[in-house]
Amino acid sequence: MQFFEQKDSELIFRENGETLVITPWGPDSLRVRSTFLGDIRPGSDALLETEPAGDVQIEIGAWDASIRNGSIIAQLHVQEWGRALQITFKNADGRILLQEITNGGALEKKARLFQPLPGVGYRLKASFISDPEEKIFGMGQYQQERMDLKGCILELAHRNSQASVPFMLSSKGYGFLWNNAGIGAVHFGLNVTEWICESTHQLDYWITTGDNPAQIEAHYAKVVGTVPMMPEYGLGFWQCKLRYYNQEQVLEIARKYHELGVPVDVLVIDYYHWLRCGDWKFDPEYFPDPEPMVRELHDLGIETMVSIWPQVDWRSENYDEMKQQGLLVRVGSGVDVQMDFHGNNVFMDPTNPRTRAYVWNKIKENYGSLGIRTFWLDEAEPEFRGYAYENYHYAAGSVLEKGNIYPREYARMFYEGQKAEGQEDIVNLIRCAWVGSQRYGALVWSGDIMSTYEDFRKQICAGLNMGLAGIPWWTTDIGGFHNGNVEEESFRKLLIRWFEYGTFCPVMRIHGSRNPHEQIVDRSGEVREWTGAPNEIWSYGEENFHIMKRYIFLREAMRDYTRSVMAEAHETGAPVMRTLFYEFPEDKAAWEIKDQYLFGADILVAPVCYEDAYDRAVYLPAGASWTYVPTGEVFEGGQTVTVDAPLDVIPLFLRDGRQPWLIYAWNRLQKEEQE
């Protein structure tokens, strides 16, 4: 019997209908694919093509084989009982990184379990032995107050405020990408790790190793791509609310910021500035002459961002044509209403290149012609009513099989359209992401979260894990989205704490559906989407205005540093917000911290994220000294210190005395405010 063979730089295994191929794929990395009763399918949901492998070593025996690419080794062993294949991944030192389960002898388990589905395809489960001491990070954005995902069960699917990006970073020194866009789940159990896809044709995953988290992340970035360089208008403050419903409001807000001398890089015009979803243009009742509005904003140094929804209302001027042309997501059964909000809506299908061309031409005609160059891509999961994934179909395949690529293709539609128009400084705000979204200028925000301290803390974990999953452009609605009442003192305090944190997010953007709301009725008598209470920095009292103004100017003072951090993200895939262990992997305590982080390599940020807290315990990683910005006091690393944190102070520390300009800027702004 000959289980193994070599073809070029690939190692192939065949047994009883299964074909498994291991391919070198990037530095110190391997791609594993397996299928039943057929050949390996070409293409990839997430991985980019790589250069041909260099020094690859393959050894083949009767019951064993191995393949080595740089520092990673896959050892393949055929168990005599049942002829089941077990794969073990090791690093160059021979240390086990990851290992498939055995068949368990009489248990007859399968590490790669393909269960045939009616029609075509399989339900797939891939199982690995779990190390209970392992710590797991990444995987995108899940709304939970924890960083280490060991012990978690995660849905591999998108929802409003949930973005599944299936790359994990292990404390054992490897990274693992589940290269499958299908709906499923992962169980990071103490006894076994299981990756599940509800409908697929083949197993496909990628694994890498490195000496530290930064090296692992760099390997990952080489095979999935990095963000572009952040435009200059992404470095400052963005003003937003639900919602500026007419052009007079937009101009009034912009002019007031200008009169106050407070810089605004982007002003956002939120949803339902249109009449019907799928029109993709301004409603002339509320925006009768948008071109001079956009021109005045640009003259004030402000970029105009407009909200885009992928929904198409049955009453939209574009619905019939898009339906006839097959440009919409299709349903398997029932009435074709995929979301009911201000009418019956279905979603456009960005996995179809004809849809991308059609919709972009509408955007170019109705917004681009006005001088609008940046877009807010909302509803990007997409937000199916009830998330009945099994009932929907894209051009790329069923949602069960390909559903998670939707937000990436949505971002791609705009990015490629903007590039075709000659635009280079591209960043588009979007509510979801998958592997590769970063290549298309996607700035992900964390969705319609609640205005609570609990949700505030969850965002810190979400942002850090998104960065580790390869999505470095990330932000939140400062203050949260739902249930913030501008007249309540408790919310105002939460807003200030969140605003301080937002200053040290990749993009600083205030937004929210603030209470109390005002109903809007158009001239025909139709009730339109409401508008929230004011959400500008002068809307929360004089004292809070001065605090927020100071942090906007602190963000301005950070431009050179933030630009350099963004350059790292562009060049190497490094997160902008970094876990402490990313920079200090040898410090075991750094792997335990979930409520503080590094902005770039040198600024340690410790948000105050509990109600009525006015001091803060901060862990300072070993291997550096740390200067407390508000006082200039220096502490040695490897200890926890408690510092005062009145409402207007977020604890900040500088690594080894680097970036002393931040202390100067902090003191200068404090002095100017007092004067």
Name the CATH topology of 579-674: Immunoglobulin-like (2.60.40)
Count of other CB atoms within 10 angstroms of residue 13: 18
For position 474, what pLDDT does the model report?
98
Instruction: Give me the sign of the Cα torsion angle 454, 227, 417, 505.
Output: positive
Active-site option among 378, 455, 583, 587? 378
Count of other CB atoms within 10 angstroms of residue 489: 11
Write the CB contacts of 183 (distance below 8 Å, at least 6 apart in sequence).
Answer: 156, 157, 197, 198, 199, 389, 399, 400, 401, 403, 404
Active-site option among 270, 279, 381, 583? 381
What are φ and ψ of residue 361, in 5° steps?
Answer: -60, -35
Which superfamily does CATH assign the domain made up of 233-567 to?
Glycosidases (3.20.20.80)
Domain with CATH 2.60.40.1180 in the chain: 579-674
Cβ–Cβ < 8 Å for 475, 507: yes
In whole angstroms, give the CA distance from residue 180 to residue 166. Answer: 8
Cβ–Cβ < 8 Å for 16, 35: no
Cβ–Cβ < 8 Å for 181, 45: yes
How many CA atoms, within 13 angstroms, populate the side-chain half-sphere of residue 91? 13
pLDDT exceeds cutoff 80 at 54: no
Instruction: Please choose, from the candidates 551, 641, 537, 554, the residue with its C-alpha nearest in 3D space to the C-alpha of residue 596.
Output: 641
How many CA atoms, within 13 angstroms, populate the side-chain half-sphere of residue 635? 20
C-alpha separations of 452 from 146, 414, 456, 465, 477 in Å: 16, 33, 6, 20, 12
For 462-495, write each residue's pLDDT tens digit. 999 999 999 999 999 999 999 999 999 999 999 9
Mean pLDDT of 532-537: 98
Catalytic status, residue 378: yes
For position 55, what pLDDT does the model report?
86
In whole angstroms, give the CA distance from residue 561 to residue 196. Answer: 42
Catalytic status, residue 93: no
Mean pLDDT of 261-269: 98
Residue 453, amino acid: Y
For 191-248, write each residue's pLDDT tens digit. 999 999 999 999 999 999 999 999 999 999 999 999 999 999 999 999 999 999 999 9
Cβ–Cβ < 8 Å for 219, 210: yes
Query: Pairing state of beta strands 392-394 and 374-377?
Result: unpaired
Catalytic status, residue 381: yes
The rounded percent of the chain whose pLDDT value lies above 70 is 100
Ranges of beta strands (E only) in 547-665 are 577-578, 597-599, 603-605, 615-620, 625-628, 634-636, 639-644, 652-655
H or E segment and range at residue 323: helix 319-325
C-alpha separations of 211 from 25, 93, 115 in Å: 18, 11, 37
Which residues make beta-bridge pairs with 203? Answer: 34
For position 409, what pLDDT does the model report?
98
For position 74, what pLDDT does the model report?
98
For 620-657, write each residue's pLDDT tens digit. 999 999 999 999 999 999 999 999 999 999 999 999 99
Residue 523, amino acid: R
For position 471, what pLDDT does the model report?
98
Mean pLDDT of 175-190: 98
For 122-145, write each residue's pLDDT tens digit. 999 999 999 999 999 999 999 999
Write the CB contacts of 14 (distance below 8 Å, at least 6 apart in sequence).
Answer: 3, 5, 20
For position 82, what pLDDT does the model report?
87
pLDDT exceeds cutoff 90 at 183: yes
Cβ–Cβ < 8 Å for 479, 512: yes
pLDDT exceeds cutoff 90 at 81: no
Q: What is the pTM of this model?
A: 0.97
Mean pLDDT of 581-610: 98
Per-residue confidence at 445, pLDDT binned at 50, 70, 90? very high
For position 674, what pLDDT does the model report?
81
Active-site option among 148, 390, 425, 448? 448
Name the CATH topology of 4-224: Immunoglobulin-like (2.60.40)
For position 648, what pLDDT does the model report?
98
For position 341, what pLDDT does the model report?
95
Domain with CATH 3.20.20.80 in the chain: 233-567
For position 675, what pLDDT does the model report?
74
For 93-128, write each residue's pLDDT tens digit. 999 999 999 999 899 999 999 999 987 899 999 999
C-alpha separations of 155 from 195, 506, 558 in Å: 10, 26, 37
Cβ–Cβ < 8 Å for 241, 486: no
Mean pLDDT of 154-169: 98
For position 152, what pLDDT does the model report?
98
For 375-423, write each residue's pLDDT tens digit. 999 999 999 998 999 999 999 999 999 999 999 999 999 999 999 999 9
For position 70, what pLDDT does the model report?
96
The rounded percent of the chain whose pLDDT value lies above 90 is 96
For position 604, what pLDDT does the model report?
98
Domain with CATH 2.60.40.1760 in the chain: 4-224
In whole angstroms, give the CA distance from residue 511 to residue 373. Answer: 20
Residue 429, amino acid: L
For 329-370, write each residue's pLDDT tens digit. 999 988 999 999 999 999 999 999 999 999 999 999 999 999
For 579-591, write each residue's pLDDT tens digit. 999 999 999 999 9
For position 184, what pLDDT does the model report?
98
Instruction: Tell me the average pLDDT of the chain.
Output: 97
Tokens of 400: 């069960």
